[in-house]
Structure 1
Amino acid sequence: MEKLILVKPTVDIKQKALDYRNEFFEIGENVINGSALLDELEYEEWLKLTEQNSSKNTVRSDWVEASTFFVVRESDNKIVGMVDIRHRLNKFLASYGGHIGYSVRPSERKKGYGTQILKMAVEYAKSINIDHVMLACYKENEASRKIILKCGGDLEKEFIHTDGKVVQVYWIDN
């Protein structure tokens, strides 16, 4: 298994980040889970937002403080994924989002990176004293469901989201 590292977003890796984002768009995926809105904002604006949201003193009032990382393959410095680790849950996250959101670059899927990313995120959560980690995914998202289960997720509940899809809520104890 290739070694992965968590890398804080910076202006220096803008082109790699845009390449990552564009790969999703090119295959028709317009939402990038765990990207803290990289799929919606210009890079510089997004960088400012992730920095602002990294501290409880500067986080937007409608968000929670979070640590957002690119997941980089050490051997070639390629971004293979992203993860957003929310330090606490607000009403929305407690219902739908959870503590951790993550994604794997489309061309790097089915290589075990999703499991590795989630394990790294759970360890990071533990390091900031989150002992009970919530995750949510659509029931139809078989890849995420399998990854969550592989990482020790226990299904708490299922419900129908406003979009008509079934959401599953899992918990992982640290």
Structure 2
Amino acid sequence: MEKIKLVQPGKSHEAAVKDYTEEHFSVGEDSLHGSSLLTEMESYSAWLAHLTKESDRATVAPDWVVSTTLIALRDSDQKVIGTINIRHELNEFLREFGGHIGFGVRPSERGKGYATEILRLGLDYCRMLGLEKVMVACYKENIPSAKTILKNGGILEREFIHDDGKEVQVYWINL
């Protein structure tokens, strides 16, 4: 695994983010975890505007919480390796189903340790926010995500069946 860093996406990252998105689509994935509605926005500029709105308590949507979305860039080639969305607090919905963090890794870079590093760097960001513990959830069938959470100190709290019929695991990580 090569060195990566988490950065706020900007206009200069548009082509790299588009490449990241297209790789997911090319393997039949239409959901990009940890990207805060990236695939639902009409344009890259609209996504950046959305990220700005959700990062400020004064402009975040009433049913959302303040959050930060970062991209994981590989130092050697500036390729987007993954994304992470960090919620600064939990509302009732997130406490029950989602947690503080959502993250994803581009398909061609999975199994190389990048998810573990993205989550580790995200936890560092959570510490900077003053959080003492964070909740992270994943589908039980997503064994790589569960292993990533466990490698970062996750402690399984509970399991439940989601509305889609899949079993979800909820972990807490003490910071």
- Give the TM-score normalised by the residue count of structure 2: 0.97
Aligned: 1:31 with 2:31: yes
SS of 1:67 mapped into structure 2: strand
What does 1:129-140 correspond to in 2, within 5 Å? 129-140=130-141
Residue 125 of structure 1: CA displacement?
A: 0.3
Aligned length: 174
Partner of 1:43: 44
- Give the TM-score normalised by the residue count of structure 1: 0.97
Aligned: 1:173 with 2:174: yes
RMSD over equivalenced CA pairs, Å = 0.8
Deviations 1:129-163 (A, max 9, x none): 11110000000000000000111100000000000
Residue 24 of structure 1: CA displacement?
A: 0.6
Partner of 1:118: 119
Partner of 2:80: 79
Which one is further off, 141-150 or 37-46?
A: 37-46
Residue 46 of structure 1: CA displacement?
A: 1.0
Partner of 1:19: 19
Deviations 1:54-107 (A, max 9, x none): 111111111111111110011111110100110001111111111011000111
Residue 28 of structure 1: CA displacement?
A: 0.7
Q: What runs of 5+ residues in structure 2 fail to find an aligned partner?
A: none
Q: What runs of 5+ residues in structure 1 fail to find an aligned partner?
A: none
Which amino acid in structure 1 is aligned with residue 147 of structure 2? K
SS of 1:39 mapped into structure 2: helix
- Structure 1 CA distance, aligned partners of 2:73 and 2:134? 23
